[in-house]
Structure 1
Amino acid sequence: MGLSLATAERWVERWERQQQRYAVDREERFTVIADVVEQSVAGLPGRPSVVDLGCGPGSLAARLARRMPYADIVAVDMDPLLLELARTHHADAARYVDVTIGARDWTHALGLDRPLDAAVSTTALHYLDPDALYRTYRQLAGLLRPGGVLVNGDHFPHDDAALAGLAGCVGRRHAERGQALAHEDWASWWAAVAQDPELTDLLAERRRRQAAVTGSGTGTGTGGAPCLSVSTHERLLRQAGFRHVGAVWQYGDSHVLVAIR
């Protein structure tokens, strides 16, 4: 299933443009996540240990690696196609692990030899239901050292419907001003992927895995929509054992949520 570097570069570049439609002020969100991680490991001896949850084609892992080349980054995803794009295009950014977050014993696949200093994620954990999310937060709390951080960047809807509508409007207006909506969308990106013969085997494996989960092999997935509010995430994180929890950045309904072990 190995890919050529040229193919990986082409599809990762298109992914980067496509994702600008969805993540409000995406580059700033990445920067804030890196700021938090860098600050949390400042002054520590040795190489910081970081896990990137739901890494996709390596967007966040690559940025963290450029910002902190001294860190050991483990990047995790369950999508074989996106993971192979990351392995090929961002080969030196991280050690990549093919595992489903929240599955039984999934943390053993990380192959960690010491406590984590940070766990990060961006637009990736919203597919977990509350029980699975709580279980994952508890597992991550157990992996992090005291003082370690979990940093999650995503769209979190407001509990208040009126505010949720306004926050969504703010995000759309920002995307319009930046012409982000001119880029291809999630469905168009996957439709184009399906036409590339070099990705045929990876796409077939992706569909096979989806069928095993959903009972149907049709389609290539959807972008997914977050359904849990910031307050729900904060409550689950505190219940999971994190001491300090709160948002450190927000634009519309896009937040960077930080939890300190």
Structure 2
Amino acid sequence: MTTSVTQHWLDRWDAQQERYVPDREERFRVVADVVAWANQENPHPKVVDLGCGPGSLSTRLAAALPAARIVGVDADPVLLALAAEAGVTAVRTDLADPRWPADVPLEGPWDAAVSSTALHWLEVGDLAVLYRTLAERLRPGGVFVDADHRSITPPALRGLGTFVRNARATRAGVVDNEDWTSWWDAVLADPDLSAQVDARSEVSICHDGNTGLTVDDHLGMLRDAGFSAASTVWQFGDDFVVVAVR
């Protein structure tokens, strides 16, 4: 797979993601800001990118924090192939398996764990285990930073959060961008990725999970998992950046 082929798919990935997250670049910047804040005295933070996909967040973190050591983890061989070609260090593992940290070539304790639009597919029980694992693996003062769509807590306002985000997408001019399904249909038909597509067909990969958890549910689960504090630091409609401090 050539650099131009990889960049083609990464550009199309970014465009289709912005259809659903119109302020995606600002959201990435906020995640990087939190990691920088937690590592002001640490010039070489160790960061794990959970559900890294093709490396969108990892590449932004590397640009913002060039001395950081970043390792991505994901279960999808197609997305991991794109990440590798983009220069991202990433490993294939299943975050629903509590043994996944053993696959990460980054000695602990870690300074930060991050994620972007990825963990919503985990079942509630698996997510609770993941949160406990992160609390055990991060150093005191380390941070978990998760950027994703979350339901607003008051039921009467949940539709409003989605409405506000969709209105922002209209103003940003991204509602006509390629959609998720079209991107996947196209990339899975690319002969340059046939080996990875074959490997993908042999594993169970879910990208459609929706646990129905509210943002307050997540904050409570993080505190219960052993984090000393958890809060939101950024929101646009139903799109949040959640931070938990070990």
Structure 2 unaligned residues grouped into runs of 5+: none
Aligned to 1:143: 137
Deviates more, 1:156-165 or 1:239-248: 156-165
Aligned to 1:155: 149
Aligned to 1:35: 33
- Is residue 2:214 matched to residue 1:260? no
The letter for the 2-side match of 1:190 is W
- Is residue 2:108 matched to residue 1:114? yes
Spell out, residue by residue over 1:104-132, the C-alpha distance to the aligned partner (whole angstroms, 9 max, x if none).
41111113323111000010001111111
Do the aligned partners of 1:24 and 1:254 also contact (CA within 8 Å) in 2?
Answer: no
Spell out, residue by residue over 1:55-108, the C-alpha distance to the aligned partner (whole angstroms, 9 max, x if none).
00000000000111100001111100001101002x1xx421110113141111
Do the aligned partners of 2:123 and 2:211 also contact (CA within 8 Å) in 1?
Answer: no
Partners of 2:79 and 2:67 lie apart in 1 by 25
- The Cα of 1:223 is off from its aligned counterpart by 4.8
The letter for the 1-side match of 2:37 is Q
Spell out, residue by residue over 1:171-219, the C-alpha distance to the aligned partner (whole angstroms, 9 max, x if none).
0000011111111100000111133211222112112212xx7xxxxxx
Give the 5 Å matches for 1:16-27.
16-27=14-25
- Is residue 2:126 matched to residue 1:126? no
Partners of 2:48 and 2:141 lie apart in 1 by 15
Partners of 1:161 and 1:184 lie apart in 2 by 31
Q: 1:4 to 1:95 in 2, by over 3 A?
A: same
Measured on the aligned residues, the alpha-carbon RMSD in Å equals 1.4
- Is residue 2:193 matched to residue 1:208? no
The letter for the 2-side match of 1:187 is T
Partners of 1:88 and 1:234 lie apart in 2 by 35
- Is residue 2:238 matched to residue 1:241? no
Partners of 2:50 and 2:207 lie apart in 1 by 18
Deviates more, 1:153-162 or 1:177-186: 153-162
Partners of 1:194 and 1:102 lie apart in 2 by 24
Aligned to 1:78: 75
TM-score normalised by the chain length of structure 2: 0.96
Partners of 1:237 and 1:183 lie apart in 2 by 34
Aligned to 1:10: 8
Aligned to 1:216: none
- The Cα of 1:225 is off from its aligned counterpart by 4.0
